[in-house]
Chain A
Protein backbone atom coordinates (compact mmCIF):
# COMPACT_ATOMS: atom_id res chain seq x y z
CA UNK A 1 0.00 0.00 0.00
CA UNK A 2 1.42 3.37 -1.05
CA UNK A 3 1.32 6.67 0.82
CA UNK A 4 -1.30 7.96 -1.63
CA UNK A 5 -3.41 4.86 -1.00
CA UNK A 6 -3.24 5.39 2.74
CA UNK A 7 -4.03 9.10 2.58
CA UNK A 8 -7.01 8.46 0.32
CA UNK A 9 -8.66 6.34 3.01
CA UNK A 10 -7.61 8.25 6.10
CA UNK A 11 -11.23 9.19 6.86
CA UNK A 12 -12.34 5.57 6.93
CA UNK A 13 -9.27 4.59 8.94
CA UNK A 14 -9.90 7.26 11.56
CA UNK A 15 -13.56 6.33 11.71
CA UNK A 16 -12.61 2.65 12.11
CA UNK A 17 -14.65 1.76 9.04
CA UNK A 18 -12.06 -0.29 7.14
CA UNK A 19 -12.27 -4.01 6.61
CA UNK A 20 -9.85 -6.00 8.72
CA UNK A 21 -7.43 -6.77 5.90
CA UNK A 22 -7.35 -3.19 4.70
CA UNK A 23 -6.89 -1.89 8.21
CA UNK A 24 -3.97 -4.25 8.74
CA UNK A 25 -2.39 -3.03 5.51
CA UNK A 26 -2.70 0.59 6.66
CA UNK A 27 -1.28 -0.26 10.07
CA UNK A 28 1.65 -2.06 8.46
CA UNK A 29 2.31 0.94 6.23
CA UNK A 30 2.18 3.34 9.15
CA UNK A 31 4.70 1.25 11.07
CA UNK A 32 7.26 1.93 8.39
CA UNK A 33 6.28 5.43 7.15
CA UNK A 34 6.92 8.39 9.40
CA UNK A 35 5.28 10.78 6.92
CA UNK A 36 1.97 8.96 6.99
CA UNK A 37 2.14 8.55 10.76
CA UNK A 38 2.54 12.30 11.00
CA UNK A 39 -0.41 12.78 8.67
CA UNK A 40 -2.61 10.50 10.76
CA UNK A 41 -1.59 12.40 13.86
CA UNK A 42 -2.38 15.74 12.20
CA UNK A 43 -5.82 14.58 11.08
CA UNK A 44 -6.57 13.22 14.53
CA UNK A 45 -5.61 16.53 16.09
CA UNK A 46 -7.77 18.39 13.57
CA UNK A 47 -10.81 16.33 14.52
CA UNK A 48 -10.11 16.80 18.21
CA UNK A 49 -9.91 20.55 17.69
CA UNK A 50 -13.18 20.50 15.78
CA UNK A 51 -14.82 18.64 18.64
CA UNK A 52 -13.54 21.24 21.10
CA UNK A 53 -15.04 24.20 19.25
CA UNK A 54 -17.82 25.99 21.10
CA UNK A 55 -21.21 24.61 20.20
CA UNK A 56 -22.94 27.76 21.25
CA UNK A 57 -22.02 31.26 20.11
CA UNK A 58 -24.05 34.14 21.36
CA UNK A 59 -25.25 36.42 18.54
CA UNK A 60 -23.52 39.81 18.61
CA UNK A 61 -26.85 41.42 19.42
CA UNK A 62 -30.18 40.30 20.81
CA UNK A 63 -32.13 38.98 17.83
CA UNK A 64 -35.35 38.33 19.73
CA UNK A 65 -36.94 41.76 19.03
CA UNK A 66 -36.57 41.14 15.28
CA UNK A 67 -37.88 37.59 15.62
CA UNK A 68 -40.78 38.83 17.72
CA UNK A 69 -41.67 41.46 15.12
CA UNK A 70 -41.44 38.89 12.32
CA UNK A 71 -43.89 36.64 14.15
CA UNK A 72 -46.42 39.47 14.14
CA UNK A 73 -46.02 39.75 10.39
CA UNK A 74 -46.35 36.01 9.85
CA UNK A 75 -48.85 34.90 7.22
CA UNK A 76 -52.30 33.50 7.91
CA UNK A 77 -50.91 30.19 9.12
CA UNK A 78 -49.22 31.79 12.16
CA UNK A 79 -50.12 30.44 15.54
CA UNK A 80 -52.12 32.71 17.75
CA UNK A 81 -54.00 34.29 14.87
CA UNK A 82 -57.64 34.92 15.54
CA UNK A 83 -59.63 31.93 14.34
CA UNK A 84 -61.65 32.49 11.23
CA UNK A 85 -65.36 32.76 11.90
CA UNK A 86 -67.76 31.89 9.13
CA UNK A 87 -70.79 34.05 8.60
CA UNK A 88 -74.01 32.73 10.02
CA UNK A 89 -75.73 30.11 7.96
CA UNK A 90 -72.62 28.73 6.27
CA UNK A 91 -73.02 25.01 5.61
CA UNK A 92 -70.72 22.63 7.50
CA UNK A 93 -69.15 21.41 4.27
CA UNK A 94 -67.59 24.85 3.78
CA UNK A 95 -66.20 24.71 7.28
CA UNK A 96 -64.53 21.47 6.33
CA UNK A 97 -63.18 23.00 3.14
CA UNK A 98 -61.84 26.04 4.95
CA UNK A 99 -60.23 24.02 7.71
CA UNK A 100 -58.72 21.69 5.18
CA UNK A 101 -57.33 24.61 3.24
CA UNK A 102 -55.60 26.02 6.28
CA UNK A 103 -54.21 22.64 7.30
CA UNK A 104 -52.83 22.03 3.84
CA UNK A 105 -51.18 25.44 3.69
CA UNK A 106 -49.68 24.98 7.14
CA UNK A 107 -48.25 21.72 5.96
CA UNK A 108 -47.00 23.33 2.76
CA UNK A 109 -45.03 25.97 4.60
CA UNK A 110 -43.59 23.68 7.22
CA UNK A 111 -42.83 20.54 5.29
CA UNK A 112 -41.34 22.86 2.70
CA UNK A 113 -38.25 22.73 4.93
CA UNK A 114 -38.74 19.56 6.91
CA UNK A 115 -39.67 16.86 4.44
CA UNK A 116 -36.79 14.46 4.01
CA UNK A 117 -37.86 11.85 1.56
CA UNK A 118 -40.64 11.48 -0.90
CA UNK A 119 -40.67 8.60 -3.29
CA UNK A 120 -43.14 10.24 -5.63
CA UNK A 121 -40.95 13.28 -5.94
CA UNK A 122 -37.91 11.12 -6.29
CA UNK A 123 -39.55 9.49 -9.29
CA UNK A 124 -40.48 12.86 -10.73
CA UNK A 125 -36.97 14.15 -10.32
CA UNK A 126 -35.20 11.04 -11.47
CA UNK A 127 -33.06 11.91 -14.41
CA UNK A 128 -34.21 15.49 -14.36
CA UNK A 129 -31.57 17.46 -16.22
CA UNK A 130 -32.53 20.93 -15.12
CA UNK A 131 -34.81 22.91 -12.91
CA UNK A 132 -37.56 23.88 -15.27
CA UNK A 133 -39.29 20.55 -15.61
CA UNK A 134 -41.06 20.34 -12.26
CA UNK A 135 -42.74 23.64 -12.84
CA UNK A 136 -43.85 22.91 -16.36
CA UNK A 137 -44.83 19.40 -15.38
CA UNK A 138 -47.16 20.36 -12.59
CA UNK A 139 -48.58 23.71 -13.55
CA UNK A 140 -51.10 22.50 -16.17
CA UNK A 141 -52.61 20.02 -13.71
CA UNK A 142 -52.80 22.75 -11.11
CA UNK A 143 -54.57 25.12 -13.46
CA UNK A 144 -57.06 22.41 -14.42
CA UNK A 145 -57.80 21.89 -10.75
CA UNK A 146 -58.24 25.59 -10.20
CA UNK A 147 -60.73 25.77 -13.06
CA UNK A 148 -62.68 22.86 -11.63
CA UNK A 149 -62.68 24.61 -8.25
CA UNK A 150 -64.09 27.77 -9.83
CA UNK A 151 -66.82 25.67 -11.43
CA UNK A 152 -67.90 24.34 -8.03
CA UNK A 153 -69.85 27.49 -7.24
CA UNK A 154 -68.30 27.80 -3.81
CA UNK A 155 -69.42 30.58 -1.48
CA UNK A 156 -67.29 33.74 -1.50
CA UNK A 157 -65.91 33.09 2.01
CA UNK A 158 -64.47 29.76 1.04
CA UNK A 159 -63.11 31.07 -2.25
CA UNK A 160 -61.45 33.92 -0.32
CA UNK A 161 -59.76 31.52 2.09
CA UNK A 162 -58.53 29.26 -0.65
CA UNK A 163 -57.29 32.20 -2.70
CA UNK A 164 -55.50 33.74 0.29
CA UNK A 165 -53.68 30.50 0.96
CA UNK A 166 -52.97 30.00 -2.71
CA UNK A 167 -51.35 33.42 -2.70
CA UNK A 168 -49.02 32.33 0.11
CA UNK A 169 -48.02 29.25 -1.82
CA UNK A 170 -47.62 31.22 -5.04
CA UNK A 171 -45.17 33.56 -3.31
CA UNK A 172 -43.14 30.53 -2.26
CA UNK A 173 -43.29 29.16 -5.80
CA UNK A 174 -42.16 32.47 -7.26
CA UNK A 175 -39.22 32.64 -4.86
CA UNK A 176 -38.22 29.08 -5.65
CA UNK A 177 -38.43 29.70 -9.38
CA UNK A 178 -36.27 32.79 -8.99
CA UNK A 179 -33.72 30.80 -7.00
CA UNK A 180 -33.77 28.06 -9.62
CA UNK A 181 -33.24 30.57 -12.39
CA UNK A 182 -30.06 31.53 -10.61
CA UNK A 183 -29.02 27.98 -9.82
CA UNK A 184 -30.72 25.76 -12.41
CA UNK A 185 -28.85 22.56 -11.53
CA UNK A 186 -29.87 22.60 -7.89
CA UNK A 187 -31.88 19.43 -7.36
CA UNK A 188 -32.92 20.36 -3.84
CA UNK A 189 -34.51 23.60 -4.99
CA UNK A 190 -36.19 21.70 -7.81
CA UNK A 191 -37.49 19.14 -5.35
CA UNK A 192 -38.91 21.86 -3.12
CA UNK A 193 -40.55 23.47 -6.13
CA UNK A 194 -42.24 20.22 -7.12
CA UNK A 195 -43.34 19.72 -3.52
CA UNK A 196 -44.78 23.22 -3.31
CA UNK A 197 -46.66 22.81 -6.57
CA UNK A 198 -48.05 19.56 -5.25
CA UNK A 199 -49.19 21.26 -2.05
CA UNK A 200 -50.95 23.83 -4.22
CA UNK A 201 -52.75 21.03 -6.03
CA UNK A 202 -53.63 19.36 -2.74
CA UNK A 203 -55.15 22.57 -1.45
CA UNK A 204 -57.42 22.86 -4.47
CA UNK A 205 -58.21 19.13 -4.55
CA UNK A 206 -59.09 19.25 -0.86
CA UNK A 207 -61.63 22.00 -1.43
CA UNK A 208 -63.10 20.16 -4.44
CA UNK A 209 -63.36 16.90 -2.48
CA UNK A 210 -65.03 18.68 0.42
CA UNK A 211 -67.62 20.08 -1.96
CA UNK A 212 -68.20 16.71 -3.59
CA UNK A 213 -68.41 14.99 -0.23
CA UNK A 214 -70.92 17.54 1.09
Chain B
Protein backbone atom coordinates (compact mmCIF):
# COMPACT_ATOMS: atom_id res chain seq x y z
CA UNK B 1 0.00 0.00 0.00
CA UNK B 2 1.38 3.43 -0.90
CA UNK B 3 1.56 6.27 1.58
CA UNK B 4 -1.21 8.06 -0.30
CA UNK B 5 -3.45 5.02 -0.10
CA UNK B 6 -2.77 4.76 3.62
CA UNK B 7 -3.56 8.45 4.06
CA UNK B 8 -6.82 7.99 2.16
CA UNK B 9 -7.94 5.16 4.44
CA UNK B 10 -6.81 6.94 7.61
CA UNK B 11 -8.69 10.07 6.53
CA UNK B 12 -11.85 8.04 5.89
CA UNK B 13 -11.49 6.48 9.34
CA UNK B 14 -11.17 9.89 10.98
CA UNK B 15 -14.18 11.22 9.07
CA UNK B 16 -16.21 8.33 10.53
CA UNK B 17 -14.86 8.56 14.05
CA UNK B 18 -14.83 12.34 14.44
CA UNK B 19 -17.73 13.30 12.17
CA UNK B 20 -15.62 15.87 10.27
CA UNK B 21 -15.64 16.64 6.56
CA UNK B 22 -13.24 14.95 4.17
CA UNK B 23 -11.54 18.22 3.23
CA UNK B 24 -10.81 19.06 6.88
CA UNK B 25 -8.41 16.13 7.18
CA UNK B 26 -4.87 17.04 6.12
CA UNK B 27 -1.58 15.36 7.08
CA UNK B 28 -0.73 18.25 9.40
CA UNK B 29 -4.16 18.37 11.05
CA UNK B 30 -3.97 17.87 14.81
CA UNK B 31 -6.51 15.40 16.17
CA UNK B 32 -7.50 17.49 19.17
CA UNK B 33 -6.97 21.06 17.97
CA UNK B 34 -8.08 20.86 14.32
CA UNK B 35 -10.40 17.87 14.31
CA UNK B 36 -11.96 18.20 17.77
CA UNK B 37 -11.07 14.73 19.05
CA UNK B 38 -11.67 13.94 22.72
CA UNK B 39 -10.14 11.18 24.81
CA UNK B 40 -12.84 8.64 24.01
CA UNK B 41 -12.38 9.35 20.31
CA UNK B 42 -8.77 8.19 20.50
CA UNK B 43 -9.93 4.74 21.54
CA UNK B 44 -12.59 4.72 18.82
CA UNK B 45 -9.89 5.63 16.27
CA UNK B 46 -7.65 2.77 17.42
CA UNK B 47 -10.50 0.26 17.09
CA UNK B 48 -11.38 1.44 13.61
CA UNK B 49 -7.74 1.49 12.39
CA UNK B 50 -7.30 -2.10 13.59
CA UNK B 51 -10.30 -3.19 11.56
CA UNK B 52 -9.53 -1.06 8.50
CA UNK B 53 -5.92 -2.23 8.16
CA UNK B 54 -6.30 -5.65 9.75
CA UNK B 55 -3.51 -5.00 12.26
CA UNK B 56 -3.20 -5.20 16.02
CA UNK B 57 -2.47 -1.96 17.84
CA UNK B 58 -1.29 -2.81 21.36
CA UNK B 59 -2.55 -0.51 24.06
CA UNK B 60 -0.46 2.68 24.23
CA UNK B 61 1.59 1.97 21.11
CA UNK B 62 -0.05 4.56 18.87
CA UNK B 63 -1.40 6.94 21.54
CA UNK B 64 0.74 6.55 24.66
CA UNK B 65 -1.06 7.03 27.96
CA UNK B 66 0.45 9.11 30.77
CA UNK B 67 3.74 9.56 28.95
CA UNK B 68 5.45 11.28 31.83
CA UNK B 69 3.65 9.75 34.83
CA UNK B 70 3.94 13.05 36.70
CA UNK B 71 7.67 12.43 37.05
CA UNK B 72 9.33 15.78 37.92
CA UNK B 73 12.36 14.72 35.86
CA UNK B 74 10.22 14.92 32.74
CA UNK B 75 8.08 17.99 33.41
CA UNK B 76 9.10 21.12 35.33
CA UNK B 77 6.99 24.26 35.71
CA UNK B 78 4.67 23.23 32.93
CA UNK B 79 7.51 22.65 30.47
CA UNK B 80 8.89 19.33 29.29
CA UNK B 81 12.55 18.89 30.25
CA UNK B 82 15.25 17.58 27.86
CA UNK B 83 14.95 14.24 29.67
CA UNK B 84 11.22 14.39 29.01
CA UNK B 85 11.82 15.07 25.33
CA UNK B 86 14.04 12.00 25.17
CA UNK B 87 11.20 10.02 26.76
CA UNK B 88 8.84 11.39 24.09
CA UNK B 89 11.23 10.39 21.32
CA UNK B 90 11.36 6.88 22.72
CA UNK B 91 7.61 6.48 23.24
CA UNK B 92 6.47 8.25 20.08
CA UNK B 93 9.02 7.42 17.37
CA UNK B 94 6.62 8.49 14.60
CA UNK B 95 5.97 11.94 15.98
CA UNK B 96 7.48 15.09 14.46
CA UNK B 97 9.05 16.83 17.44
CA UNK B 98 10.62 19.77 15.55
CA UNK B 99 7.95 22.33 16.51
CA UNK B 100 7.53 20.92 19.99
CA UNK B 101 11.23 21.38 20.73
CA UNK B 102 10.83 25.10 20.03
CA UNK B 103 8.05 25.48 22.60
CA UNK B 104 8.01 22.57 25.03
CA UNK B 105 5.01 23.61 27.12
CA UNK B 106 3.12 20.61 28.40
CA UNK B 107 -0.07 21.91 26.83
CA UNK B 108 1.51 21.57 23.37
CA UNK B 109 1.76 17.80 23.68
CA UNK B 110 -1.65 17.54 22.06
CA UNK B 111 -0.25 19.01 18.84
CA UNK B 112 1.95 15.96 18.38
CA UNK B 113 -1.08 13.85 17.62
CA UNK B 114 -1.49 14.56 13.94
CA UNK B 115 -2.89 12.64 10.99
CA UNK B 116 0.68 12.28 9.72
CA UNK B 117 1.61 10.50 12.96
CA UNK B 118 -1.06 7.90 12.33
CA UNK B 119 -0.05 7.47 8.67
CA UNK B 120 3.60 6.92 9.58
CA UNK B 121 2.67 4.46 12.30
CA UNK B 122 0.45 2.45 9.94
CA UNK B 123 3.18 2.47 7.29
CA UNK B 124 5.61 0.88 9.69
CA UNK B 125 3.05 -1.68 10.86
CA UNK B 126 2.35 -2.73 7.29
CA UNK B 127 6.00 -2.82 6.20
Do the two chains bind?
A: no
